Structure 1
Amino acid sequence: MCSTLVNKYNIPGPRYTSYPTVPYWDNTTFSLKAWTKSVKTAFDTSNDKEGISLYIHLPFCESMCTFCGCNKRITKRHDVEIPYIKSVLKEWDLYQQIFEAKPKLKELHLGGGTPTFFSPENLKLLLQGILKHTDLAENYEFSFEGHPNNTTKEHLQTLYDLGFRRVSFGVQDYDHKVQKAIHRIQSFEAVKYVTETAREIGYTSVGHDIIFGLPHQTSEAVRKTILKTKELTPDRLAYYSYAHVPWQSGNGQRGFDEKDIPAGEEKRKQYETGKSLLEEVGYAEIGMDHFAQKKDSLYQAMQHNALHRNFMGYTASKTKLMIGLGVSAIGDSWTGFAQNVKGVEEYNHLLAEGILPVYRGHILSKKDTIIRKHILDLMCTFKTSFQEDGLSEEEKTDILERLHEMIADDLVALKGKELKITTKGKPFVRNICMAFDLRLQDKKPDTKLFSMTV
């Protein structure tokens, strides 16, 4: 990755876990009634054929990790678990009242926060409540995010017994200075224990999350982290660029100076060091920021053009309906998005009143669905087509004009109606997607909305 190109294209931009991106949702056309109608329509078309997906946000953490931009509640009080579980189950009950048939679950993911903040017994209580009135789809996949420091054998066994076969552990970096800066001190031995224990129990996909561009991080630290990771050979890896967005993170990302964050040539070197080492030890690049062994379902999905991307990241299957449960969780009905309130107290209060805790959302226009397909294709297959896509000639001309320099820089190649991202262009996929983003182009964002693209 050329440093000149990094300097040229490293600008604030969306990560495109949705289109339109959250800052461009139009709340003037959104209502709870419109959302529930879209959920019912998606359920009716998706449930029998594909099943549905569930994302459950468990926001509690015992301590603040200063690299984290997620919605979380820091507390050491575990008496918050049962009231929160009751609220999540109430929310699920309200959604089931919308459905006219028994939901068939294809995907379920526990995210956070720290899902393993909850005791194994309470996670069992939550999940049994979710699954009680639910059928399981063929080849269903249950997954969760685990913290190496507090994920116990009991957590792993309990969730395995409930049908979980995939787990991802947040590693970030093994360098002690970096760990101290991000307030996430965990040993290689802790990661080794949970990785090996998960495999002994029978988990078929164990993933690690690694971040480059962290405060005080060096290319040598990245190299050592990747080599240690090689010893444990996780089935898949998320290799992310650190997203520095302290204005969105409740001051969590202000535990260090801006000058401590690698930038420019050093950050480029970290990315290339990690990517080349991962490929050397047998990992294939999957979409953006992800790598997997060739036996993993994510790699198989990519090979069969079945890779999908949503608010849970890259997945090996797609459902038209994804329900988000819990504070700040986002749901996707394929024709609409909805996000829950972000405060635990407000969330609990609304559900005690029997009200779905949605506070904002977006109903997609016809043009939105066209652009979303382009962006999903680019994110998942690194190519897209203008063939009869429903865009006007003027809109296509404008998109190609925005891509002109990227074509000149050999980041994308245009052949007839087909646009393909080159190997050189893969690190800049977010920039390429921005050229298609009509809402972003119509209203240029405040630079503080997004992290840097590279």
Structure 2
Amino acid sequence: MKVSLTQKYNVPGPRYTSYPTVPYWNEADFNDLKWVASLQKSFVESNSENGISLYLHLPFCESMCTFCGCNKRITKNHSVEETYIKALLKEWSLYCKLLPEKPLIKEIHLGGGTPTFFSKNNLEHLINGIFSYANKAENYEFSFEGHPNNTTYEQLQKLYNLGFRRVSFGVQDYASKVQKAINRIQPFHNVAKVTFWAKEIGYTSIGHDIIFGLPFQTIEDVVDTIEKTNSLKPDRLAFYSYAHVPWIKGNGQRGFDEKNLPRDDEKRKLYEIGKTLLSKNGYHEIGMDHFALSTDTLYKASLNNKLHRNFMGYSASKTQLMIGLGVSSISDSWYSFAQNTKSLEDYYQLLEWDKLPISKGHVLSEEDLIVRKHILNLTCQLETSWNHTEGYFDELPQVLKSLDEMEKDQLIVIEANKLKITVAGRPFVRNVCMAFDLHLKRKSPETNLFSMTV
């Protein structure tokens, strides 16, 4: 029996929101002093020119969605809001004391968890607290994730008044059997309501997140979800492959049997059908798993080779320094990564002691920095290049040799000093990145670490 390309290349692999990926961080060579030194270096190099980014992790959810692998705390007790915001602002104040001047903030993203778990007044208190230590950069872009079931008109209006112009709503799928399996009961009416509210208020980029490969999901389900999505015409879409990683403690992905999941070619067909429908309705495929209308900044950035990718996902602009605030957040100075503790209790305790709540990190080597640029190029522009002085590293010939099979399958084109991913190769971007991933090549994982690539 002939093996399809999907079957051939569908292997466990990283999602490449960073390089090196978190499991390959050299924690032994990392400490808080090294992180602060890299933070200050990056700040001096970039703040006055471009500003910095902030990611704020708001971990609370009222119920567990069984497709989710994010760090979250399930509770219906909203009294936790004030304590957590106080801690976030304490962490931010500790960072600002380390910086030589007032930061300019180019990007803010509120992620989670469920950011709209928080009341409009507490969200206002949080953002005003951030700007008591900082200024807004020119052409700033503030965004947040909203749950259609609990996002209110008042929250949308309040965040708009605070400068937010981009919002993404988690949709996943509209089929009732799928929603029941992933414990995300969410009628189309709720999504339509918050989408129309956001348009009415004036948000310039409204996004929907949908997922293919969910339990019990069929072609008919994807077609119905895409058609409903097209009727609302969000500006951009994330069309993610479901990452089945049930070995991660506490992620809730044991709420259904694995035999209920579409696999390999069956799963990939869901994406291809969705992509075709989106294309017919004016959406352009961007990077990995993303689509946007021609009027959206994400599409314009992709045309101008300005697309960037980090722990917040794809962005229309690049900042060198991103500070992550909140439990489990990851910061990126370009030269180093630092991740906060995943324990909410430890997070509070470390801040009580006036310590940055960092649990681990990685200082990038010169080799890491070169490979990181290649992986960013591949995930954002679908090509990368090198010469004798820039972009070259000792193991590049072996990396290119390892891609022979992908070139024979016409998934990539390798020229004298350039590699391009073809249209047929777009489903396998992560596989191409894995060939460049020297940490992965030198030490294959001995246990389950990653979801499947396709």
Answer whether TM exceeds 0.5 for this pair.
Answer: yes
**1:111-130 equivalence runs, <5 A:** 111-130=111-130
Note if 1:424 corresponds to 2:415.
Answer: no
Query: Aligned letter for 1:6?
Result: T
TM-score by length of 1: 0.98
Residue aligning to 1:276: 276
Correspondence for 1:226: 226
Q: Aligned partners of 1:92 and 1:313: how far apart in 2?
A: 22
- Describe the SS at the equivalent of 2:50: coil
- The answer to whether 1:319 aligns with 2:319 is yes
Give the letter aligned to residue 245 of structure 1: V
Q: Which amino acid aligns with 2:435?
A: A
2:298 match: 298
Partners of 2:378 and 2:138 lie apart in 1 by 28
Match of 1:74 in 2: 74
For the residues of structure 2 that align with 1:423 and 1:148, how far apart are their CA atoms? 34
Counterpart in 2 of 1:414?
414
Q: Can you give the 5+ residue segments of structure 2 that lack an aligned partner in the other structure?
A: none
Q: C-alpha distance in 2, partners of 1:34/1:392?
A: 25
Counterpart contact for 1:165–1:205, Cα < 8 Å: yes
Post-superposition Cα deviations, 1:188-211, rounded to whole Å, max 9, x if no partner, equal 110000000001001000000000
User: Aligned equivalents of 1:353 and 1:414: distance in 2?
Assistant: 53
| DSSP-derived class of the 2:171 partner | strand
Q: Please state if 1:185 is matched with 2:185.
A: yes
**Could you tell me whether the CA contact under 8 Å between 2:374 and 2:391 is conserved in 1?**
no
Equivalent residue for 1:23?
A: 23
CA distance in 1 between partners of 2:267 and 2:396 (Å)? 34
Residue 412 of structure 1 deviates from its aligned partner by 0.4
Query: Is the 2:407–2:414 Cα contact (8 Å) retained in structure 1?
Result: yes
C-alpha deviation, 1:3, in angstroms: 6.9
How far off its partner does 1:397 sit? 1.7
* Matching residue of 2:383: 383
Q: Is the 8 A contact 1:12 1:447 kept in 2?
A: no
Aligned to 1:300, what secondary structure does the other structure show?
helix
Cα contact 1:367–1:391 (8 A) shared by 2? no
Question: Match of 1:209, as an amino acid?
Answer: D
Aligned to 1:94: 94
Query: Paired residue for 1:245?
Result: 245
Residue type of the partner of 2:418? Answer: E
Q: 2:367, 2:393 within 8 Å by CA — same for their partners in 1?
A: no
Distance in 2 between residues matched to 1:102 and 1:366, nearest whole Å:
30
- Offset at residue 135 of structure 1 (A): 1.0
Q: Sequence identity, in percent?
A: 63
State the partner residue of 2:62: 62
Matches within 5 A, 1:358-369: 358-369=358-369
Match in the other structure for 2:339: 339
Deviations 1:319-361 (A, max 9, x none): 1100000000000000000000011111011101101000000
Cross-structure match for 2:50: 50
1:41 alignment counterpart? 41
Partner of 1:103: 103
**Amino acid of the structure 1 residue aligned with 2:10:** N
What is the one-letter code of the residue matched to 1:362? H
- Tell me which amino acid in the other structure corresponds to 2:117: F
Render the CA deviation track for 1:209-230: whole Å, top value 9, x for unaligned. 0000000000110011000000
CA contact (8 A) 1:205 1:296 kept: yes
Separation of aligned partners in 1, 2:325 and 2:392: 35
Gaps of 5+ in 1: none
Q: Aligned residues, how many? A: 452
State how 1:199-214 maps to structure 2 within 5 Å: 199-214=199-214
Q: Does 1:264 align with 2:264?
A: yes
Q: Which amino acid aligns with 2:42?
A: A
Local SS of the residue matching 1:78:
coil
Which residue of the partner structure matches residue 6 of structure 2? 6
CA distance in 1, matches of 2:391, 2:315: 27
Q: CA RMSD in A?
A: 1.0
1:431–1:453 Cα contact (<8 Å) kept: yes
Q: Compute the TM-score of the two structures, normalised by the length of structure 2.
A: 0.98
| 1:131-175 deviation line (CA, Å, top 9, x unaligned) | 112111110000000000000001101100100000000000000
